Structures are given as C-alpha cells and as structure tokens.
Amino acid sequence: MKKHFFLPRLFLLLFCFGLAGAELDILCTSDLHGHFEKMPALAAVLRSFGGKTLKIDTGDTLTGTLYSDLCGGKPMIRLLNHLRFDVWVPGNHDFEVGYEAFSSRVKEFEGVTLGAHWHWRDVVPVKWKLFEINGVRAAVIGATDPAMPRRVLPGTDGVFDDVTKSIGRIMPEILAARPHVVILAFHNGMYSKYANLHELCRTYPEIDLILGGHSHKEVAGHRLRHAYFVQAGCHGACAAHVKVKVDDATGRIVRIESALLHPREDARDEETARLCDGFFLDQREIASRRIAATSLNCRWPGKNGRPAELGRFFAASLLDAAGADAALVSLPVRRTDGGEEPVSGRFVLTEGILYRLFPFRNRVCTVIVTREDLTELGRFIRENGKKRKMRHYFAGCIRLNEEGVPVMKPEKCVLAVTDHTLVSTPVLREKLGSLGLWRVLPGRFDRDIVRRAFRKAERPVPQQPRSGQQPFRRQY
C-alpha cells in the first residue's frame, strides 16, 4: 500500500516542479502608421490579457494617415496611453513629424521612450529600462532604424550613433542589474543589411529576445542563434504575444513561446472605439475640405510611359517656390497602398486627394550640381526608375533628351529637391559633407507648395444646369 501511495505523490511532485517558475507576458505592436481605425479591434485583444503584461510598441507609430499626420501623431500617442503601453521605440518615420511635434509626443507618452543610440536636441531617450512583472526581471533596450544616419540631414535632424557599439556601451550596466531576460525592442527587420541581426546576436549573446519592426513582415517566432525574434506586422492587423518562463531556482529562461494574435472582425473595445470614432469624424471632415478645382491631368504615372502632367506640374511648382535654377521630382509609377488612382481630367482637389498624391511631408532643399554630377544623377535615376518603378521629372535649366538622359547648358546650377531625394540619391548625398553646397529652405514643404500651386492654377467648376437649361460645355 505504501508503494502504491508513494508513486502517485512522486509523479505529482515532479509534475508540479515542471510547472514551477515565473512567467512574463509581452504584447508588442509595430508600424501602426497612424491607423487608429484598427485600434478598437486590436484593443480588444490587448485588454484580454489584463494588467500584468509588458506592452511595447516598436515604432513608425505617428505618421501614415491624414488625420494623424496633420496632428503630428498626437492621436496615436493618446491611444498608446489609453492602452497603457509601457514602452515606445520611435521608428524612422516618427522623426518626420518635425522636432516640435516629436518632442511633444515624447513628453505626452506616459510610458518610457527608449533609444540606445540617438538624441535630438534636448530629446534624450532612456537607453534601457528594467521592468519587474510577475517575478520576472526584464531589461528592455530600445533602438530605432540603424539606417537613420543615411536618412537624415546632418546638423538638423538629430544624432544617430552605431547601434551595435551603443548596445555594447550599456550592456555592462544591464548585466549588473541581473535581469532574467534581456529584450531588444528594435525598429529593424530580420533581414536588414544594416545592423545585421545574426551578427548582432553573435556579438551579444546576452540578448534573449528581439522584437522587430520596420519591414512590415509578420514573424510569429524565429530562432536567431541563441535569441528569439518576433515581429507584429503592420497597420494594427495583429499583435505579437510572447510568453517568457523563468525557472525560480536558477533564474534562467526555461522557454520562450510566441504567437501572432489577429483580432476578430466583430471584436471591438467600446471605450477605444468611442475615442477612435471621434478621430474618424475629424479626419473625414478634413479630407473633404476643398482646395481647388482644376483641369490638370492628375492621373498617376502609368506603365505605358506617357508623360504625366502631374509630375511636370509639381516640378515647375517646386522650381518656382525654391527660386532655383532647376528642380527634380520623383514619383512612383504605381501607388503602393493598393488604393485607386487619382481621377484624371477636371476635378475638385481636396485635402484627402492631396494626401493620397503626396503622403509624406518632405522639406524642400537646394543643392549645387555640376555637369559631372548630372551624369551620375542620370545613371542613378535610370537604375532607380527600373528597380523601384519611379518616374523622374525635371524643370528649369535641366531637361531630359530623347534618350532620357538629363542635360543642362551651364557648368553648374542650383537644383531644388525634397529632403528625401537629397539623402537617398548617392551623388547628392555626398554633398551633405559641405554645408556650402546645400541648404534647407525653412518652412517650405512639398505638399504645401503643391496646395498653393493648385490654388493658383484653379479653374472654375461649371454649375449644374437648372431645369430646362442647356448644360454649359467647356471648350478645349
């Protein structure tokens, strides 16, 4: 009898020992891009876990929709606070709202803004933070896009150091805090050529979990050497749930489990929905605001290669606003968000249509280019046009010849471009090392220039004929 009584108790003890340990639940979002309309359904998922969770957003949060952009990302930070996020790691597009709006969002966020390798004037993020939840000590490091030095204008858009070296500088103090798990919340994809994650994991085997972003990919769980990589996709389509179990006796990680949680279509957190419904009404009102009525052909550049009046019009507008000798504009052949093309022919331009045409608010810059630079620039735009399906338009003293090669008569000229074109075009980016060769035009943004130019080119919209009258037909 003793024997039969002892064996069940032994198995019970072994079973209980196997279950012993502290568990940490982590919920992560990424690349929300201002899509507040997805948040009520996502909030239903996030709130189903209760309060004892670590909530982390890995960036590209503020911009991406008309209303959030015009408000400098304020609606999205309100939502992060509403859902009690603990950590926000800004992404590359978050810096595009400008210093004033960005610094305000950092102050408004009720959690902690993490960034191990950057600062912007007086905005100095916390490099890492230790959280203790359910008996698990978790050290969270924050890092934004490692390609930021190639995306910003020197001296104006913040200082970004090397990610790998910056983590190395803080790792000793992290280990001194004796965390059970070291988490890197990183606005970077698994296969990025910048700060390669495989190399990063080899350099720092102390990192146990990486929460990714930037690439918009959904990764339910992937082993990177000894570390574990998870990414929540984009636009609020899902949240990543990671469970870390730690052995009570040794303090070591027993296992890491993860899953992507896609909200049900009929699920809505009503409190979050009320907040987002207000945003939606404001956005609809703003999007419908009339800017101008015009007969310009605003069809997006197509595959047939026919010249688009929109591109020429934008280049001419940029030239006029910058007071330069020439202007360069780059537009995608096809819209990347799957939306319908802008209408062609006579139409009423609204704020919503303008945002679809120019979804990023780029600053206007000027840069001095020579004939030699123009040769390199022509080679780049031909290669970039094929690879990225871009169309390029010049105005002023630079034009495209019959072979599609840019030419100009003077030895050098002042070229007007957007800041994105300036930092992403190699031959122009080389000029950034000399302040005398380039400058930012204060307070001038491409979308605002186009808005003013459309108003200037406005054409009257014919009135609907009254009963019994013949409709007015415009002569072309």
pLDDT of 190 strictly over 60? yes
**Can you spell out the DSSP letters for 301-317?**
P-TT-PPPHHHHHHHHH
Decide if pLDDT at 468 tops 60.
no
pLDDT in tens, 196-248: 899 999 999 999 999 999 999 999 999 988 899 999 999 999 999 999 999 98
Looking at residue 4, what is its pLDDT? 38
The structure tokens listed for 54 are 């670590």
Least confident of 70-84, 113-127, 285-299: 285-299
Give the residue-averaged pLDDT of 338-359. Answer: 70
State CA 239 to chain mean position distance.
17
Neighbouring CB atoms inside 10 A of 372's CB total: 11
Q: What is the CATH T-level fold of the domain 20-282, as seen in this structure?
A: Purple Acid Phosphatase; chain A, domain 2 (3.60.21)
pLDDT of 265 over the 90 cut: no
Taking only the tens place, the pLDDT of each residue in 352-374 is: 988 988 888 899 999 999 999 99
Domain 290-456, CATH among 3.30.460.80, 3.90.780.10, 3.30.420.40, 3.90.1150.10? 3.90.780.10
pLDDT at 305: 44
Query: Rounded to whole angstroms, how far apart are CA atoms 343 and 349?
Result: 10
Mean pLDDT, the chain, integer: 87
Domain ranges of the chain: 20-282, 290-456
d(C-alpha 411, C-alpha 415), whole Å:
13
- pLDDT of 41 higher than 90: yes
State the pLDDT at residue 346.
Answer: 60
**Residue 16 and residue 467: Cα distance in Å, rounded?**
85
- Rounded average pLDDT over 181-203: 94
pLDDT at 13 over 50: no
Q: Report yes or no: 360 and 372 within 8 Å, Cβ to Cβ.
A: no
Residue 132: enclosing H or E segment and its boundaries? strand 128-133
Which position has the higher pLDDT, 452 or 390? 452
75 has which bridge partners?
none
